[in-house]
Amino acid sequence: MRAPSTAPAAGAEPPRDCPLCPRLAGFRAHWRAQEPGWHNAPVPSFGPSDARLLIVGLAPGLRGANRTGRPFTGDYAGELLYQTLLDFGFATGRFEARPDDSLVLTQARITNAVRCVPPENKPTTDEMKTCRPFLSGTLAALPRLAAVVALGKIAHDQVVAAHGLRLSHYKFAHGARHALGPITLFDSYHCSRYNTNTGVLTPEMFRAVFASVRRFLDTGV
Ligand code: SF4
């Protein structure tokens, strides 16, 4: 069996000093000066290039992926996401919130709709649009891709737009499922601490989405 590769495909990964969003490049520079030991750069996708599932988040958290360099690693959102991926057979090993832990993704790849950390976790509409070609490149670089999980409405909108489809025809709703050509898009509320603390998203609600994805990938239903 061919070993999974984590090498990015051309067009899927921005350069470390990507200048396309001046506000975000400035924010990165600020944090490089403040915290030179942090990643402070576009966060690359994580997971095998033969993945059948792509999980799309919003953007790196300042002290999470922006610090560690791995999506959903180092802040609360990763705790729920990676435990769920382990439970549903999309990962092996042990998640310890650091990039050199033993966690390995199997069949799943994780990316963000916006690759650089935005101030207050809020990218602008222009920044989302500017970063979208890297999401398109990520989608195009997964030849076995069958399912996408969008974590939150922004990720959902970015995935729909990356397919050249009209947002008005594909409404975000937790638990919704949309056919985007050969790919099926599954929507979930984002697994942020805010959403889980306020009860917007419970672990059971999150698990139900991944149970549907698992069933879809295993049986086509
Ligand atoms: S958010 Fe995307 S397009 Fe903007 S600077 Fe970062 S990598 Fe480049």
Predicted confidence at residue 84, as pLDDT, reads 98
- Binned at pLDDT 50, 70 and 90, residue 132 comes out as very high
Contact 52, 107 (CB under 8 A): yes
- Binned at pLDDT 50, 70 and 90, residue 2 comes out as very low
**Cβ(114) to ligand 1 under 6 A?**
yes
pLDDT at 3 over 80: no
Long-range contacts of 63-67 (CB under 8 A, 24+ apart): 65/39, 65/112, 65/117, 66/31, 66/38, 66/39, 66/40, 66/116, 66/117, 67/35, 67/38, 67/39
Q: What percent of the chain has pLDDT over 70?
A: 95
**Cβ(115) to ligand 1 under 6 A?**
yes
Helices (H), the chain: 22-34, 65-68, 76-87, 125-140, 153-162, 193-197, 203-219
Residue 31 token pair: 């944090």
What is the C-alpha to C-alpha distance for residues 39 and 68, in angstroms, rounded to an integer?
6
Flag whether the pTM goes above 0.85. Answer: yes
Domains along the chain? Answer: 22-219 (3.40.470.10)
Give the position of tokens 């979208």: 132
Per-residue pLDDT, averaged over 27-54, amounts to: 98
Residue 17 token pair: 């000093």
- For residue 144, the CA-to-ligand 1 centroid distance in Å is 26
pLDDT at 1 over 70: no
Predicted confidence at residue 6, as pLDDT, reads 39
Contact 93, 78 (CB under 8 A): no
**Cβ(131) to ligand 1 under 6 A?**
yes
DSSP 41-82: SPPPPBS-TT-SEEEEES---TTTHHHHSSTT-SSHHHHHHH
Average confidence score pLDDT of the chain: 94
Predicted confidence at residue 196, as pLDDT, reads 95
- Binned at pLDDT 50, 70 and 90, residue 5 comes out as very low
- Please state the atom number of ligand 1 nearest to the C-alpha of residue 14: 7
What is the C-alpha to C-alpha distance for residues 101 and 68, in angstroms, rounded to an integer?
12
Residue 110 token pair: 């994780």
pLDDT in tens, 159-198: 999 999 999 999 999 999 999 999 999 999 999 999 999 9
**Cβ(25) to ligand 1 under 6 A?**
yes
Per-residue pLDDT, averaged over 104-126, amounts to: 97
- For residue 175, the CA-to-ligand 1 centroid distance in Å is 29
Predicted confidence at residue 180, as pLDDT, reads 96
pLDDT at 7 over 60: no
pLDDT in tens, 48-74: 999 999 999 999 999 999 999 999 999
pLDDT at 207 over 80: yes
Output the residue whose Cα is nearest ligand 1's atom 4.
Answer: 21
